[in-house]
Amino acid sequence: MPPAENPMINLIRQCSRLRVVLPILFALVGLGLWASVSFGTENLANLPEQVSRTIRYEIRLPRALCAAIVGIDLAVAGVLLQAVMRNPLAAPNIIGVTAGAGLAATIVLVLIPEFTASLPDDHFLRTNADAILPAGAFIGAMAAGLTVYALSYRPGSGASPIRMVLAGIAITAMLGAITTYLLIAYPDRNQAAIQWLSGSLNGRGWDQVHFVKWYSIAALLAVIPMIPSLDALRLGDDAARGLGVRVEFVRFSALALACLLAASAVSVAGNITFIGLIIPHMLRFIVGSRHLVLIPAAALGGAVLLLYADLGARTVQKPQELPVGMITALLGGPYFIFLIMTTRSIR
């Protein structure tokens, strides 16, 4: 039997790969930002300079930044959830975050217009309608994720990964059923909700960038001191406790940060799937599973995927625009099937 590989040598090898991968990913992000600003449904060469400048820097640039931030958030959330649950198929939609945001957004888009129709034009709910949607979706996503944790928690044993997955499936199904009911019950007002549920960055501007960036920065900074504990969780709860890790505290903290990242992402972009699943897998295969190298690589990989997916959504069928959630699903679905067919650890 061959001797076990020295963990330090393995880490050095993974860091060496990261030095090669990171410049490539940074270059792809830069190229994606440039392409997103330069290309779209409108041909800027036929427009006056002032109009084209406004389109580039007031419409396309904030949208591209939103895509990059959302991609980062979803990819890192996927890394955290896969570490916490020790499940290669864990993703934000597994723990009900996406379903919670979807229900909250549907309520805002379908029910609130009915309740506010009789209010004065200067009422808070009518003058701040644009701000209510991301805030409501964010609250719904966080509430769903924390509910899953509460349902899976048992005094003395904490929240086991298996119970979290089962609770997430149940919460997702129930919230999805309520969302479907609202869409059927209010067919005259469900178009905006359907577009949001499909995942879209259309119309996202600087307000959405400013809304999402602070949550993203805070969550990503909070992940850094947790990296050694996340590596220990890969060994199992008993082994992690033997290394001095407060397993339940780390699990709850990582889950809360994953919910925060995913909630901030879906609150501005809607239901965008598969990024939190396929990006961690792809980058884990390239740079290894140590979170010190996996998290930054996955963050950039998520930004790359969503930038180019959004660019494709805007340019494939000009002048019509496709939902970016449809593009990521078309990309992620085949990879998901490939993952199931080739990963031996999935029984």
Domain ranges of the chain: 7-342
pLDDT in tens, 279-315: 998 888 888 888 888 999 999 999 999 999 999 998 8
* Tens-digit pLDDT profile for residues 20-30: 888 899 999 99
Is it the case that residue 274 has pLDDT exceeding 80?
Answer: yes
Confidence of residue 111 (pLDDT cuts 50, 70, 90): confident
Q: Taking 50 as the threshold, does the pLDDT of residue 161 lie above it? A: yes
- The pLDDT of residue 256 is 87
CATH fold of the domain at 7-342? ABC transporter involved in vitamin B12 uptake, BtuC (1.10.3470)
The pLDDT > 90 percentage for the chain reads 25
* Residue 42 pLDDT greater than 70, yes or no: yes
Phi, psi of 119 (to 5 degrees): -80, 155
Position 6 confidence tier, pLDDT thresholds 50, 70, 90: low
Report which of residues 199 and 88 the model is more confident about: 199
Does position 123 have pLDDT exceeding 70, yes or no?
Answer: no
Q: What is the pLDDT of residue 2?
A: 43
Average pLDDT over the chain reads 83
Residue 1: its pLDDT value, please?
A: 38
pTM for this entry = 0.87
With a cut of 80, say whether residue 276 has pLDDT above it.
Answer: yes
pLDDT at 131: 67
Higher pLDDT, 195 or 173: 173
pLDDT(245) > 80: yes
